[in-house]
Amino acid sequence: MSFNPEQFIREKVSWLRTEVGSERAIAATSGGVDSTVTAILGHRTVGKALTVVFLDDGLMREGEPEEATSMLRAQGLDVELLDVKVEFFQALKAITDPEEKRRAFRETFYQTLGRTVREHGARRLLQGTIAADIVETRGGVKTQHNVLEQIGIAPSVRYGFTVVEPLKELYKPQVREVAKALGLPRAVYERKPFPGPGLAVRVIGEVSPTRIETVRKASKIVEEETASVESFQAFAVLLADKATGVRDGKRVFGGIIAVRIVASSDAMTASVPQVPWQVLEKIQSRITAEIPSVVKVVLDLSPKPPSTIEFE
């Protein structure tokens, strides 16, 4: 059967009225299509009783916190931008294992939101968990930070709130249809996915402000230079290893950036599109020129499976 986004919106608003009622609620958002759709559905249900929270964890792309909160406010939502960078970097310090990193992020994410929920006198947290998040977490592919009850964690016991997930049976293409039906801007419903733990999972090895800033700059270059390339995601990853390079005629030991460009519809499988060579050359030349600590740029050609889209 074909998916009807308008019917889905009507059904979910009715469902949310039962789940949330007229009580004060918090919606966690990253500015991505999943969490934005969830926040809009929540706003249609409880109106001004909903506060949208954006956690500025220091792991977002350049300008993202300000852009996301401005967009949400333009939709008439009450948005709070919380600076929690210190908490997240402290939680991630010295952790190199990808799963441990995701779990540390998840714990800090929910501890922070739990505090915010209590401060607002709310009891319910709306979040944009979708079907792919649950499938990958349950299947042991990788821990998605926004999956709790499905793996036996009771948020009401551990964090003091009930999680409400209106999109958990949808995949990304359906969420985009709902976003479009809600009248959201094209920049929202066509926005490329971004991992919940942000750039933390695009830094292989230990996360630090310096390493995050390196991958943030590289990510901006990749996104800018692939703007005309049809892809599901296009991003940069800072590898843990280093390589020998040459700067000003002298040997240096510098960082390695991997470029990842994939095509997909639902993130469950992915292929690697053919990208014009001149685009790849421009990415390499800009990264090594604009980020002196990087001396080598490599291209990842692995499909999903056997690879995952993200490196961690």
Half-sphere exposure of 45 (CA within 13 A, CB side): 30
Fold identical between 5-189 and 203-300?
A: no
Q: Nearest-5° angle of CA 240, CA 249, CA 219?
A: 35
Write down the domain spans for the chain.
5-189, 203-300
Q: Is 251 helix (H, G, I), strand (E, B) or coil?
A: strand
- For residue 305, whether the previous peptide bond is cis, meaning omega lies within 30 degrees of 0, is yes
Q: Does domain 5-189 sit in CATH 2.60.40.10?
A: no
Report how far residue 12's alpha carbon sits from residue 19's, in angstroms, rounded to the nearest whole number: 10
Structure token digits, residue 12? 């979910």
What is the 8-class DSSP label of residue 198? G
- Strands 25-28, 50-56: pairing kind: parallel
> How far is residue 153 CA from its own chain's centroid?
21
* Cβ-based neighbours of 251, under 8 Å, separated by 6 or more: 244, 245
Sign of the C-alpha dihedral computed for residues 70, 184, 64 and 35 taken in this order: positive
Residue 147: its pLDDT value, please? 64
DSSP-assigned letter for residue 202: G
- The pLDDT, as a whole number, for residue 139 is 64
Q: How many residues does the chain have?
A: 312
Per-residue pLDDT of the chain (312 residues; tens, 9 = 90+): 689 999 999 999 999 999 998 889 999 998 899 999 999 999 999 999 999 999 999 999 999 999 999 999 999 999 999 999 999 999 999 999 999 999 999 899 989 999 999 999 999 999 999 998 888 777 666 556 666 666 566 777 788 888 999 999 999 999 999 999 999 999 999 988 898 899 999 999 999 999 999 999 999 999 999 999 999 999 999 999 999 999 999 999 999 999 999 999 888 899 999 999 999 999 999 999 999 999 999 999 999 999 999 999
pLDDT confidence of residue 53: 96
List residues bridging with 26 in a β-sheet.
51, 125
CATH of 203-300, one of 3.30.300.10, 1.10.3720.10, 3.30.1280.10, 3.20.20.70: 3.30.300.10
